[in-house]
Structures are given as C-alpha cells and as structure tokens.
C-alpha cells in the first residue's frame, strides 16, 4: 500500500516543499496530494484519503496560522513530527521590465503578506494587499492573467519560475531567518502503514 501525504497548498507552495521534505526524509514512496486549505488537508486525513497531513502552524515572524488552528479541533488527529522550513519569499511580476512604481497591489497568502510588510513598504511605498489561497496559486493566477499588470505576487523562487514570472526582488521577507513550522499529523488510531 502506498502512503498518501496531504498538504495545504498548490505545487510549488511552501506547503508543497514541506511535504516533499517529509517524503524525502521518511516516506520515499509516498504520493503527495495538495489541498485548497488546511481544513481540506485535515479532512483528507481524518476520512482516510491520506495517512499523513502536513499543515503550517506558525511562522517565526508572522505568528500562528489561525486558519490551521481553527481546523484542528475535534478530528482525532495526533502529532507525528514537525518540519521547520526556511522560507525565502520573492516578489514576482508578469512582464519583464515592470518598474516598482507601477505596482499597485501585491497578492499572496495572508501569512506571506504579513512576513513581508515592512520590506514591501520600503520597496513599493503604498500598495494594496490581495489575500490569495496560497503563494503558488497567486503566482499561477498572475501568469494566467487573473491578476492585473499592476499586481505583483509573493511566492517561492520555484513557484515564480514555474509560472514563467519575472523576479522584481528576491528575499523580501522582513526577517532574515524567516521560518515556518509545519505539523505532521496522522489519525490518532495506530496506522498500519508505518
């Protein structure tokens, strides 16, 4: 039987990177399944569609991930480890040569926006924040034209490059030692798949 790991995020998101790390370290044959929210990842686990779930619980500069904490209650899940992921965030635009002054809004997951607020203020001045499902989904939306040319996105290098975007600035997170803590969860009943 092949073990399935559910994670919050799209391919190329920080959640995807954490799940990849778990697979490399503990479950090399595992199949990874992205979920649209921490709640959806935990539902996959709780209902047996996955044997592990990887969800973000806190960031060193932006604090607790309330979306995950709200979804945890009453599901009969147990902690099976953690992954601490260094988070390096880049600012991406759709077209090469876009000037910083042309950026009116920045789209990304609310945690990424919080982790970059001071730096973005220095780089861009005033801008509007556009909360998005996850960092990689924001990159894909910008590439697909769902976000206008005056919008930039915050995402990992792998996500921005995969979407064909152009980096306006790398390492725009406020804290140089920016880290996100991911919980690895399993159902509380003993898994037969270890």
Q: For 133-160, what is the mean pLDDT?
A: 96
CATH architecture of structural domain 4-86+178-187: 3-Layer(aba) Sandwich (3.40)
**What is the pTM (predicted TM-score) of this model?**
0.89
- Band (pLDDT 50/70/90 cuts) for residue 192 is very low
Separation of CA 70 from chain center: 17
The CATH class of 90-169 is alpha beta
- Per-residue model confidence as pLDDT tens digits over 59-115: 999 999 999 999 998 788 999 999 999 999 999 999 999 999 999 999 999 999 999
Average pLDDT for residues 157-161, to the nearest whole number?
A: 96
pLDDT at 191: 44
Is residue 98 within 8 Å of 74, Cβ to Cβ? no
Per residue in 16-68, pLDDT tens? 999 999 999 999 999 999 999 999 999 999 999 999 999 999 999 999 999 99
Instruction: Tell me the domain boundaries of the chain.
Output: 4-86+178-187, 90-169
Q: What is the DSSP string of 83-98?
A: EEEE---EEEESSTT-
**Does the pLDDT of residue 194 top 50, yes or no?**
no
DSSP 9: S
Phi, psi of 15 (to 5 degrees): -65, -40
What are the structure tokens assigned to 55, written together?
Answer: 């969800």
Instruction: Name the pLDDT band for 189 (thresholds 50, 70, 90).
Output: low
């Amino acid at each position: 039987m092949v073990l399935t790991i559910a994670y919050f995020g799209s391919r190329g998101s920080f959640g995807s990177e954490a799940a990849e790390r778990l697979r490399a370290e503990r479950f090399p044959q595992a199949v990874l399944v992205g979920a649209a929210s921490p709640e959806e990842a935990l539902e996959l686990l709780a209902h047996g569609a996955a044997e592990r779930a990887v969800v973000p619980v806190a960031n060193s500069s932006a604090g607790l991930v309330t979306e995950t904490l709200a979804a945890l209650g009453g599901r009969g899940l147990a902690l099976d480890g953690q992954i601490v992921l260094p988070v390096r965030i880049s600012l991406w635009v759709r077209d090469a040569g876009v000037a910083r002054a042309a950026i009116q809004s920045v789209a990304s997951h609310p945690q990424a926006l919080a982790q970059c607020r001071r730096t973005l203020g220095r780089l861009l001045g005033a801008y509007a924040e556009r909360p998005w499902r996850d960092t990689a989904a924001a990159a894909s939306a910008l590439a697909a034209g769902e976000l206008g040319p005056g919008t930039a996105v915050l995402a990992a290098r792998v996500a921005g490059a995969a979407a064909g975007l152009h980096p306006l600035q790398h390492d725009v997170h406020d804290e140089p030692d920016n880290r996100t803590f991911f919980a690895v969860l399993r159902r509380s009943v003993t898994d037969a798949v270890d």
